[in-house]
Amino acid sequence: MIDPATHARLNQEKFDRWAATYEDDRYEFFRRMQRRVLARLDLREGMNLLDVGCGTGWAVRHAAVFLGPRGKACGVDLSEKMIEQARRAAAGIPNVEFQMANAETLPFVDGLFDRVMSTMSFHHWLHPSVAVREIARVLAPGGRVCIVDPTADNVLMRWVDAVIRRRDPDHVRMYSSREFRELFQAAGLRYLGSGRVMVPWLTAKAHLAGSALG
């Protein structure tokens, strides 16, 4: 396995290069996907939301409107350039916050967030079990988590995953729905199921979980 420092550097460099064009129209499918994730999370006024691997923060800014002044929308990302773009785009929105951070060491107190989301980032996480435990730690009782990622539920996707791993060292691996369930349950979360979030992205599934008390 690649060492953590090298893995973090490769991801930072990759997404730093992408930051300036991340919200271009050609990537509008990301926004459509994130809208559907936010709808599944059933956001309400006064809630706190965390987006892990937030990129330039579009979903965070969009969620802030629903959360209102009593709620807060936060985003974390490994890429310094992504966070710079996110802060610039969110200037003047009082209930938004961005921090540069790794999914494995979230810089927040226990039980702070009612909702946690992540879209198309999970396959880059070097130690997903550690990251999911961190998500469970910062999730409030009754909270919900939605993680969207390409899901290796068939032979074709497992072959695609193997090809990408040989080509892109920043890509760790894709996981099956069973593995997502096991990761959530090992972290003390209740796996609530999975489903497609959009077409033509047939490989991507939304995996939903709730806190043990929710």
In this predicted structure, what is the pLDDT of residue 10? 87
CA nearest to 152, candidates 202, 92, 100, 118:
202
* Domain boundaries along the sequence of the chain: 4-210
In this predicted structure, what is the pLDDT of residue 3? 84
Query: Mean pLDDT across the stretch 53-63?
Result: 97
Contact 211, 189 (CB under 8 A): yes
In this predicted structure, what is the pLDDT of residue 202? 56
| Choice between 135 and 214, residue whose per-residue pLDDT is larger | 135
Maximum mean pLDDT: which of 4-8, 162-166, 177-181: 177-181
* pTM assigned to the model: 0.95
Query: Mean pLDDT across the stretch 193-207?
Result: 76
In this predicted structure, what is the pLDDT of residue 188? 96
Query: Mean pLDDT across the stretch 18-33?
Result: 90
Query: Looking at the predicted structure, is the pLDDT value of residue 102 above 80?
Result: yes
Q: What is the C-alpha separation between 127 and 123, in angstroms, rounded?
A: 10
In this predicted structure, what is the pLDDT of residue 173? 93
| pLDDT (tens digit per residue) in 187-198 | 999 999 998 886
4-210 is classed CATH 1.10.357.10: no
For tokens 């979230």, the residue is 106
In this predicted structure, what is the pLDDT of residue 26? 87
